[in-house]
Copies of this chain bind each other. A is one copy, B any other.
Amino acid sequence: MTDTARGTSHRYGTRPTMKDVAARAGVGLKTVSRVVNGEPGVTPDTERRVQEAITALGFRRNDSARILRKGRTASIGLVLEDLADPFYGPLSRAVEEVARSHGALLINGSSAEDPAREQELVLALCARRVDGLVVIPAGDDHRYLEPEIAAGVATVFVDRPAGRIDADVVLSDNFGGARDAVAHLIAHGHRRIGFIGDQPRIHTARERLRGYRTAMAAAGLPVDDSWVSLGSTAPERVRAAAAAMLDAPEPVTALFAGNNRVTVTAVRVLRERPHPVALVGFDDFELADLVRPAITVVAQDAAHMGRTAAVQLFRRLDGVDETPRRMEIPTRLIPRGSGEIRPYEG
């Protein structure tokens, strides 16, 4: 690249301030402030002069200064795992929608499942003095938030509970959803059912496993250790896990996939198999009904979760002072075909 042009250009333009507008309109600073904020006590004539000066100079109020003065920022922070994950799109959008309806902006960032990065992001948002936070936790210790919460930053956790602090949280009914899914498979005749889930340090993974075990136990079915595989959701690992369960001497006849990434890989794996294997996935995904067989899933309502969290956040910001709440959003079993396949009897 050539040398960057120095000096001359519009380097960070001096933007006009209220003082400039005031000078141009021949009024006092405070009068400009009044006009800009639509406060009463300005004659139509003065207002017109000020408005003219504003447009002439291209003035735009500096919200940084305003925020500094007023204390509140009218913005909330959203920290999630990965914006590219389709689960978070609707959630994020729902939060934004609510924020918007309260006149607040949304600042967000992705933690990439890294607790250190989550903390870094959250604290950066606090330094910006966001009024509140919606956090999808990556870490399991949120005590670093205590001073912030004490200072009045409302915080709501979503999808996974906060670690070692007491705060509002919005969860899916992971346990119930998983139990229902597995019971559904059992009701269709399966007795050997495999579970492939996320890393056990993740709360939802543990809850779904618990649901799986509970459903099996409730039906009086044993669970062989080799039927349960928790770990990374990377395709290779899921592939290997599924293969192991399906190639065993007594193979599983159905799979319960712990989240949408696992489900998708499972679909690919099962497609290559000679015999039909039943499949239920946790998390719905677009096009689940287009695949053949269409995929039976336990659907979470991400938008509902986001909306609930944001509403609760603004309740807190409005001064509602109650003990932290745990809100659970129900899941819904959507039978589409893959979960209704009967056990293949070799």
Q: Does A83 reach chain B (CB closer than 8 Å)?
A: yes
B129 touches A110 (CB 8 A): no
Q: Does A191 reach chain B (CB closer than 8 Å)?
A: no
A15 touches B93 (CB 8 A): no
Distance, CA A61 to CA B68, complexed state (A): 12
Nearest CB of B to A2, in Å: 6
Instruction: Please give 6 more A-B residue pairs, beta carbons under 8 A apart, in addition to A83-B93, A96-B110, A285-B286.
Output: A9-B321, A10-B152, A11-B319, A64-B128, A106-B109, A290-B291
| CB-defined A-B contacts under 8 Å, sample of 10 | A4-B318, A5-B319, A12-B72, A62-B127, A64-B68, A68-B68, A75-B128, A84-B93, A107-B108, A290-B290
Residues 56-70 of chain A, each 1 if its beta carbon lies under 8 Å from chain B, else 0 = 001011111101100
Distance, CA A17 to CA B267, complexed state (A): 56
Distance, CA A89 to CA B151, complexed state (A): 33
> 7 closest A-B pairs (Cβ-Cβ)?
A58-B147, A12-B152, A13-B151, A83-B93, A63-B127, A13-B152, A84-B93
Q: Which residues of B contact A88 (CB under 8 A)?
A: 89
Distance, CA A105 to CA B122, complexed state (A): 11
Interface residues of A (CB under 8 A from B): 1-6, 9-15, 58, 60-65, 67-68, 71-73, 75, 82-86, 88-90, 92-93, 96, 100, 105-110, 123-129, 146-152, 166, 264, 267-268, 271, 285-287, 290-292, 303, 318-321, 323-324
B292 touches A264 (CB 8 A): no
A268 touches B290 (CB 8 A): yes
Distance, CA A93 to CA B323, complexed state (A): 35
Q: Which residues of B contact A2 (CB under 8 A)?
A: 166
A3, A11, A71, A84, most chain B CB atoms within 10 A:
A84
Nearest CB of B to A92, in Å: 5
Contact of A320 among B4, B12, B72, B146 (CB under 8 A): B4
Contact of A290 among B11, B109, B267 (CB under 8 A): B267
Nearest CB of B to A272, in Å: 12
A73, A83, A123, A146, most chain B CB atoms within 10 A:
A83
B107 touches A107 (CB 8 A): yes
A151 touches B15 (CB 8 A): yes
Nearest CB of B to A51, in Å: 15
Contact of A10 among B12, B86, B127, B150 (CB under 8 A): B150
Task: Kindly report which residue of chain B lies nearest to residue A127, judged by CB atoms.
Answer: B63
B107 touches A105 (CB 8 A): yes
B107 touches A151 (CB 8 A): no
A1 touches B290 (CB 8 A): no
Q: Which residues of B contact A268 (CB under 8 A)?
A: 290
Q: Which residues of B contact A9 (CB under 8 A)?
A: 319, 321
Given contacts A5-B323, A11-B152, contact A106 B105 (CB under 8 A): no
Nearest CB of B to A25, in Å: 17
Nearest CB of B to A62, in Å: 6
Nearest CB of B to A133, in Å: 13
